[in-house]
């Protein structure tokens, strides 16, 4: 069913269709509309589940951890400082191999305080054991929730997942979204079947103390599960295409890469702007294309190498900064393409919500083709 709706409400509707049994969240801009809508749905008996009102984001994710451990399909949403407050529980959730899905309306981290968009919040938790998916638009943000639950709850994965979409840019923007009906979602996403759960009649222990003789093996198993998540994401994306006609059968998505000499790499809503800029540059005779990263964890190294084997130059646009190094995606793309002969340059852009326009994309391509990169792009030098 096609409807014009705000991104946050589209996400809330998608979550409802996933039939969550426990929702726990704390309001924080720009995520609040999602959980407000879900609270109303629970109050109106549109969701057969519990909505837990908590005093902080730490408590919200802790409640979801307990719910998942007890065998319930759990959901939360947060952003920025709220996600930072969940840091400890994020590691516990993955370490306990408890599935759930959490929506992140990406927002910059303080200080200084910013309520605008970049990817610093989720990138800062890239090593926590959660798989991370990034949406270009609100249709993709909607669809990725169905896929994320299917992958998270797969018994060969059993890892929590983040569906990330850009705060305000998507969360507060109205776009047309093709929303499936409940019967269609039920045909794709089966009821949650826990692999293990807390049961007084059949007691088990979770989160036990691990001595050095055993701890490393636990981390190895999470690494193996993350690698399996990549394969399961591809399979779940292809199955989604069969059900709904929209193809998510890859962790990356190429745009006009055929015959391209220069490739841009990015993730999130900026990819829409890049596509428009690529069209204009192509019309002007420039051989430019885009490779969108739909997943950042697991990192799609093999897909990147395969997609870019014919280009000469790669410009990575990072809406984050790994301070003391460079952008997170840029760092990993350089490692993936090391020894390939391809020049890879990183550009940190759009931090704290700074606009990225088509002319900025064209300027980045100019810089990359001259070999000038690994920089903060668009700094206001007069205030430095």
Q: What is the pLDDT of residues 77-124, one digit of tens each?
A: 999 999 999 999 999 999 999 999 999 999 999 999 999 999 999 999
The pTM (predicted TM-score) of the whole model is 0.98
The total number of residues shown for the chain amounts to 384
Within its chain, how far is the Cα of 324 from the centroid?
A: 24
Q: Choose the final residue of a domain: 185, 209, 244.
A: 244
Residues 7, 10, 15, 18: what is their CA dihedral angle, to the nearest 10 degrees?
-140
How crowded is the C-beta side of 238, counted as CA atoms within 13 Å?
7
Q: Choose the final residue of a domain: 193, 228, 244.
A: 244
Strands (E), the chain: 2-6, 22-25, 50-53, 74-78, 101-106, 131-134, 161-166, 174-178, 252-255, 262-266, 288-293, 295-297, 313-318, 343-348, 375-376
- The answer on 278 and 150 residing in a single domain is no
Alpha helices, H only, 245-383: 270-283, 301-307, 328-336, 358-369
3-state secondary structure at position 321: coil
- The answer on 268 and 121 residing in a single domain is no
**CB neighbours of 353 closer than 8 A, spacing ≥ 6?**
108, 114, 115, 116, 117, 118, 168
pLDDT at 383: 83
Task: Reply yes or no on whether the pLDDT at 217 is more than 90.
Answer: yes
d(CA 170, CA 112): 23
- The answer on 301 and 174 residing in a single domain is no
- The answer on 256 and 224 residing in a single domain is no
Within its chain, how far is the Cα of 281 from the centroid?
A: 28
Within its chain, how far is the Cα of 278 from the centroid?
A: 24
Q: Are 298 and 157 in contact (CB under 8 A)?
A: no
d(CA 140, CA 134): 9
With cut-offs at 50, 70 and 90, classify the pLDDT of residue 1: confident
When pLDDT is averaged across residues 130-149 and rounded to a whole number, the result is: 98
- The answer on 289 and 151 residing in a single domain is no
When pLDDT is averaged across residues 19-37 and rounded to a whole number, the result is: 98
Count of domains forming the chain: 2
- The answer on 262 and 223 residing in a single domain is no
- The answer on 296 and 240 residing in a single domain is no
Q: Are 180 and 142 in contact (CB under 8 A)?
A: no
Q: What is the pLDDT of residues 199-208, one digit of tens each?
A: 999 999 998 9
How crowded is the C-beta side of 359, counted as CA atoms within 13 Å?
2
pLDDT at 193: 97
Rounded to whole angstroms, what are the CA distances from 98 to 92, 195, 382? 9, 9, 49
- The answer on 283 and 236 residing in a single domain is no
Q: Which residue's entry shows tokens 């319930």?
A: 72
- The answer on 379 and 299 residing in a single domain is yes
CATH code of the domain covering residue 142? 3.40.50.970
Q: Which domain holds residue 51?
A: 2-244
pLDDT at 384: 86
- The answer on 329 and 200 residing in a single domain is no
CATH code of the domain covering residue 341? 3.40.50.920
Nearest to 68 by CA among 163, 259, 183, 206: 206
Specify whether the backbone of 69 is left (phi greater than 0), alpha (psi in -120 to 50) or beta: alpha
- The answer on 316 and 374 residing in a single domain is yes
With cut-offs at 50, 70 and 90, classify the pLDDT of residue 306: very high
Q: Are 106 and 165 in contact (CB under 8 A)?
A: yes
Task: Reply yes or no on whether the pLDDT at 363 is more than 90.
Answer: yes
Q: Choose the final residue of a domain: 220, 244, 268.
A: 244
Paired strand residues for 104: 78, 164
- The answer on 185 and 112 residing in a single domain is yes
Task: Reply yes or no on whether the pLDDT at 334 is more than 90.
Answer: yes
How crowded is the C-beta side of 247, counted as CA atoms within 13 Å?
5
Q: What is the pLDDT of residues 248-259, one digit of tens each?
A: 999 999 999 999
Task: Reply yes or no on whether the pLDDT at 126 is more than 90.
Answer: yes
Task: Reply yes or no on whether the pLDDT at 33 is more than 90.
Answer: yes
**CB neighbours of 120 closer than 8 A, spacing ≥ 6?**
108, 109, 319, 320, 321, 351
Measured from the Cβ of residue 227, the count of other Cβ atoms closer than 10 Å reads 12
**Portion of the chain with pLDDT greater than 90, in percent:** 98
Nearest to 301 by CA among 259, 271, 354, 265: 265
pLDDT at 106: 99
d(CA 120, CA 110): 10
Mean pLDDT of the chain: 97
3-state secondary structure at position 17: helix
Task: Reply yes or no on whether the pLDDT at 340 is more than 90.
Answer: yes
């Amino acid at each position: 069913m096609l409807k014009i709706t705000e991104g946050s409400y589209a996400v809330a509707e998608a979550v409802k269709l996933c039939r969550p049994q426990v929702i726990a969240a704390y309001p924080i801009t720009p995520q609040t509309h999602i959980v407000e809508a879900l609270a109303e749905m629970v109050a109106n008996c549109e969701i057969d589940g519990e909505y837990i009102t908590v005093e902080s984001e730490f408590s919200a994710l802790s409640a979801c951890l307990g719910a998942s451990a007890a065998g319930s399909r759990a959901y939360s949403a947060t952003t920025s400082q709220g996600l930072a407050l969940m840091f400890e529980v994020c590691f516990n959730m993955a370490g306990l191999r408890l599935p759930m899905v959490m929506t992140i309306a990406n927002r910059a981290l303080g200080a200084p305080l910013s309520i605008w968009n970049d990817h610093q919040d989720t990138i800062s938790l890239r090593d926590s054991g959660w798989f991370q998916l990034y949406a270009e638009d609100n249709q993709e943000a909607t669809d990725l929730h169905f896929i994320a639950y299917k992958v998270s709850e797969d018994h060969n994965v059993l890892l929590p997942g983040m569906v990330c979409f850009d705060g305000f840019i998507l969360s507060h923007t109205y776009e047309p979204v093709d929303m499936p009906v409940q019967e269609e979602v039920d045909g794709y996403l089966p009821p949650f079947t826990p692999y293990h759960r807390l049961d007084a009649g059949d007691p088990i222990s979770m989160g036990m103390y691990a001595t050095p003789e055993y701890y490393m093996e636990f981390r190895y198993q999470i690494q193996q599960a993350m690698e399996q998540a990549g394969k399961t994401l591809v399979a779940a994306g292809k199955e989604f295409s069969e059900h709904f006609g929209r193809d998510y059968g890859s962790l990356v998505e190429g745009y006009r890469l055929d015959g391209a000499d220069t490739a841009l790499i990015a993730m999130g809503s900026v990819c829409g702007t890049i596509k428009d800029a690529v069209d204009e540059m192509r019309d002007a005779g420039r051989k430019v294309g885009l490779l969108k990263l739909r997943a950042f964890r697991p990192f799609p190294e093999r897909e990147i190498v395969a997609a870019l084997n014919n280009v000469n130059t790669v410009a990575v646009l990072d809406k984050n900064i790994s301070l003391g190094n460079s952008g997170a995606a840029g760092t990993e793309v350089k490692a993936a393409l090391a020894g390939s002969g391809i020049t890879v340059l990183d550009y940190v852009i759009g931090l704290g919500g700074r606009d990225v326009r088509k002319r900025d994309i064209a300027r980045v391509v100019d810089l990359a083709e001259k070999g000038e990169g690994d920089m903060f792009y668009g700094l206001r030098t007069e205030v430095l």
